[in-house]
Structure 1
Amino acid sequence: MKLENLLRQLGEQIESAEEETYDLFSQDLPSQQGLGFINSKAPTLDLTIADRDLTIHQSPGILSSNRAGGTTGAVVWKVSPIFAEWLTTAGNPLFSHGVLSPRSAVVELGCGISPVVGLLLAPRISQYVLTDQPYVARLVEQNIAENDGHQVVLQHKATANKRSANKGRTGGASSKGSGSGSKGGGATGTNNSGQIRFTPLDWETDDVSSALTRDLSGSSFDAVLACDCIYNEALVEAFVSACVDICRLREAELAAYASSSKDDAKSEESGSSDLLEPSICLIAQHLRTSDVFETWMDCFLRSFHVWRIPDTLVLPGLRSGSGFVVHLGVLRGGAVVGYRAPS
């Protein structure tokens, strides 16, 4: 399988959150990175990423406000352009192994006002869905429209069901990816190859449902991405739960295929089983505090098999000592067609 080939190249799985935290934070990390904003005071940023010029509008005013539910999604974070460039670099292992392809659908959690990763990746895939709090929708819409070259269409549809009371989450701390509602506009742009759109999603109060995939050709995603969403212990569990729920959409689709293929020998003959593999969860982050990182890694390891992307497979800006890191997760214990995660 394509995914298995990639995982072999990644090397050993991470088994201990404590050991991974020690390995990363014992590195000689840069001391002048601050909180991780590119420029939190500028209303616009002119960025050149992988030879593509982008102008991104952000909101220093919202960032410095006392808005309930968080404000950190109002500006662009340093890891996003580096991560976007790596994903679109020739020879990126996700594409060279076929884990991502022109048919792929990808969802990003906690995009903030910046569709940078989506704008760079969408031309190489089929569909890209950005998610975050509804308050970032206007600037995401503007940034997609001005950089994608197409008119953005608003879609006023609910995209997630509210969590039931027994699944609700509490916590007053805010995060770039946490939201405050499940209804709002979805911004959609069409680039040369793929579609990119924004959909509100609240990690704490919304259930991930098939509504998230309403415009996809299938009913699940090939990859879940997140950039610098992990710096608040209070929302770690909600973030990981969202990752799990989205990856389970693929498991449900795989299970449905397995069931139907028993009654339809032609499905296997046609090779359609090769179209779907387990969803991957790809997390890029700034190494700020060891306690928060270890809390996340411990929670993530409970639900995912986890690998750190090695230095040999990433750009210099994501390698050891850079202050940034990328991890890949594959859901544990799922009923997946033809797949068994390496032990």
Structure 2
Amino acid sequence: MSVSVLLGLLGPDIEDYEEESFLVFSQSIPSQNLGFVDSKATLLDLTIGERDLSIHQSPTILSSNRGGGTTGAVVWKITPLFARWVTAPTNLLFSLGILDSESTVLELGCGISGIIGLACGPLIGSYVLTDQHYVMKLVSQNLEENRQATSSTKKGRKSSSKSKRGAASASQVQAAGNIIATPLDWETDEVLPSLTGTELKRSFDAVIACDCIYNDALIKPLVQTCIDTCKLRSSDEAENEPAVCIIAQQLRSAEVFEEWLKEFHRAFRVWRLPDEMLIDGLKSDSGFVIHIGILR
């Protein structure tokens, strides 16, 4: 009943998406520019908890005219903040047992860094990073070069994720310890139990999307992917707790935020995390916000 305990602590869920949009954008939002950590650097040195990470990114891809988007080519400010929050000793997801050493987590739109997966890896059973094909080479490099920052005792698992375009080939799926990276396009790929990367698990305990909401054209595909992933848990007879969907984002456009929440609210009960559940850098007036969703 750990999820129900969390929801009890959060109180009533959001009823009016327009009111929620008004409330979050009534905050004092600092100028973050677009929200890059450093869009010109090819290598970033970051510290998450007690782990030092060296993260490769690609300003060249970011500035290219690649079709299908390039925003995943660099690290965004909220990503290391989210990684520090989710792995903090006080984080309720872990202290309430929603996430533990047996948990399986899916991240949507992970980008090239793999930072959240690298941070969570030592604390959970398995972490599946997903994004478009173009980020796979760099995210795999970052996983490989930073794998000493995660538990060296956990065994890697091969992913057999299938999509509407066919299964990802072995060259497209990379693993570092218990962290897997595999392509998943919200518009063309299907979410199946095999996405967990192991026959021992057929669903996810949590779904994470960090700073994925900036393009209104991708709102419906993103929300539908969240729905499809959480439905895996609903149909998994081996699990009793619902999947928790965690959406973190930088506040940029009130219109895009409201359109996302309108769509998300149709399928999910939604709560905004209060300051007492967050770390400095993610609290009110930071320009960032985290919502929790449970499938209706």
TM-score surpassing 0.5? yes
Aligned equivalent of 2:121:
122
Aligned equivalent of 1:188:
175
Distance in 2 (alpha carbons) for counterparts of 1:294 and 1:96: 31
Aligned equivalent of 1:308:
272
Distance in 1 (alpha carbons) for counterparts of 2:104 and 2:93: 13
Provide structure 1 residue ranges, at least 5 long, that are not aligned to the other structure: 164-180, 258-274, 333-343
The verdict on how the C-alpha distance between 1:106 and 1:113 changes in structure 2, with shifts beyond 3 A counting, is same
The verdict on how the C-alpha distance between 1:30 and 1:132 changes in structure 2, with shifts beyond 3 A counting, is same
Shift in Å at residue 237 of structure 1?
0.3
Out of 290, 296, 305, the residue aligned to residue 260 of structure 2 is 296
Larger C-alpha radius of gyration, 1 or 2?
1
Shift in Å at residue 215 of structure 1?
1.6
1:162 equivalent to 2:126? Answer no
Aligned equivalent of 2:108:
109
Provide structure 2 residue ranges, at least 5 long, that are not aligned to the other structure: none
Aligned equivalent of 1:69:
68
| Alignment TM-score, normalising by the size of structure 1 | 0.81
Shift in Å at residue 207 of structure 1?
1.2
Q: Give the number of equivalent residue pairs.
A: 289
> CA offsets, 1:40-71, max 9 Å, x none?
11001011121311000000000000011111
What amino acid is the match of 2:58?
A: S
What amino acid is the match of 1:5?
A: V
Contact 2:174-2:180 at 8 Å conserved across structures: yes
1:242 equivalent to 2:225? Answer yes
RMSD: 1.8
Distance in 1 (alpha carbons) for counterparts of 2:167 and 2:211: 22
> CA offsets, 1:172-221, max 9 Å, x none?
xxxxxxxxx9634111011xxxx101010010011111221232522000
SS in 2 for 1:130: strand
Aligned equivalent of 1:132:
131
Aligned equivalent of 2:53:
54
Aligned equivalent of 1:175:
none
The verdict on how the C-alpha distance between 1:295 and 1:247 changes in structure 2, with shifts beyond 3 A counting, is same
Out of 206, 213, 217, the residue aligned to residue 200 of structure 2 is 217
Distance in 2 (alpha carbons) for counterparts of 1:34 and 1:162: 37
Out of 278, 281, 285, the residue aligned to residue 249 of structure 2 is 285
> CA offsets, 1:59-117, max 9 Å, x none?
00000000111111000010010000011111211111111111100000000101000
Aligned equivalent of 1:26:
26
Distance in 1 (alpha carbons) for counterparts of 2:191 and 2:27: 37
The verdict on how the C-alpha distance between 1:37 and 1:252 changes in structure 2, with shifts beyond 3 A counting, is same
What percentage of aligned pairs have identical amino acids? 54
Aligned equivalent of 1:99:
98
Aligned equivalent of 1:232:
215
Distance in 1 (alpha carbons) for counterparts of 2:167 and 2:200: 23
The verdict on how the C-alpha distance between 1:120 and 1:216 changes in structure 2, with shifts beyond 3 A counting, is farther
Shift in Å at residue 276 of structure 1?
3.6
Contact 1:160-1:201 at 8 Å conserved across structures: no
Contact 1:84-1:117 at 8 Å conserved across structures: yes
Distance in 2 (alpha carbons) for counterparts of 1:125 and 1:225: 14
Shift in Å at residue 158 of structure 1?
6.0
Contact 1:107-1:129 at 8 Å conserved across structures: yes
The verdict on how the C-alpha distance between 1:130 and 1:216 changes in structure 2, with shifts beyond 3 A counting, is farther
Aligned equivalent of 1:148:
147
| Alignment TM-score, normalising by the size of structure 2 | 0.94
What amino acid is the match of 1:141?
A: S
Distance in 1 (alpha carbons) for counterparts of 2:197 and 2:53: 28
